[in-house]
Amino acid sequence: MALSSFITSTARLKMAGLKNSKSTGNPVIAIHGWLDNAASFIPLSEQLDTSRPFYALEMPGHGLSEHRANSTTYHLVENVLDVLAFIAEVVETPDVKVTLIGHSLGGIVCSLVAAAAPEKIDKLILLDSLGPMTDPAEAVLDQLRKAIGKISQFKASKKTVYPTLEMAIAVRMQGIGKVNAKAASLLVERGIESVEGGFSWTSDPHLLDPSILRFSEPQIKSIFGGIECSVCLICGDQGYFKQYKNLENRIAYIKTVQSHHVNGGHHFHMDGDVKKTAELIDGFI
């Protein structure tokens, strides 16, 4: 499945990504992880067998999508409205349901969308993702103070400039969710721009700001209980679920879910068992 770039104006922001050439059928929308971009779905798209419209969507501040205004923040829930605004642009009629695929942060956002607007989602595929970080009530104040203290300085983190593309690729290989050279090259090619002195990521530095407020675990249980569609959870055997064992407890929060493991780390859909991942998704949707 060949993909090409797109930019779509929505009721909220301009959103970019990669799409196939199909125009009929219920859309499949795939959303990347934190600080990644739509290129994270290129390896998977090459293995998927679908005749439906496929969109690898970039969340605001990522890839080539528009950055948020300085008068707002990148709070997790804002992404739910962004995805719904994009869905409104790509469905033929409001009653058409879409399938969501989400990796890491993208999976968290997709889960919230499925819970908040169940009438718009027919199936949900989560890739090494099962909800956001949570805080107990006694930790909320500390988190609030830390985040407000940082954000109220009203200065974005300084962008790193890499003198060569090779250095940017090498750094990304060791970044959040380590990836191999081929996967890093795809992410860099899509998400980097020429600047004075070399190259820098196109992503908004404000994405590095701390979360102002987090959900509590009981809130996540309630939200996940509101997911009405069928869910397919796929995890890498060396991914985040190996590191954060308590995430497995959340599987019980979802009404209808199937769980699978494939070879690979957190980005197994890029540099792990991509073929098996595609087979599981094809069989589910």
pLDDT digits (tens, 9 = 90+) for 31-51: 999 999 999 999 999 999 999
Strand order in the sheet with 230-236: 4-9, 14-19, 54-57, 28-31, 98-103, 121-127, 230-236, 257-262
Helix, strand, or coil (residue 284)? helix
Both ends of the chain: CA-CA distance in Å? 16
Q: How far apart are CA 1 and CA 43, in angstroms?
A: 10
pLDDT at 243 over 90: no
Output the pLDDT for position 226: 98
Catalytic residue list contains 104: yes
Q: CATH fold of 4-135+212-284, please?
A: Rossmann fold (3.40.50)
User: Rounded to 5, what percent of the chain is helix, strand, coil?
Assistant: 40, 20, 40
Q: Quote the pLDDT of residue 176.
A: 81
List 104, 185, 200, 203, catalytic entry: 104
Which of the residue ranges 93-97, 210-214, 225-229, 246-250 would you say has the lowest mean pLDDT?
246-250
Backbone angles phi, psi at 102, to 5 degrees: -135, 130
Whole-structure pTM value? 0.96
Residue 140, number of CB atoms within 10 A of its CB:
13
pLDDT confidence band for 155 (50 / 70 / 90): confident
Q: Which residue has the higher pLDDT, 82 or 175?
A: 82
pLDDT for 152 equals: 94
Q: Return the pLDDT at 241.
A: 79
Lowest mean pLDDT among 32-46, 236-250, 258-272: 236-250
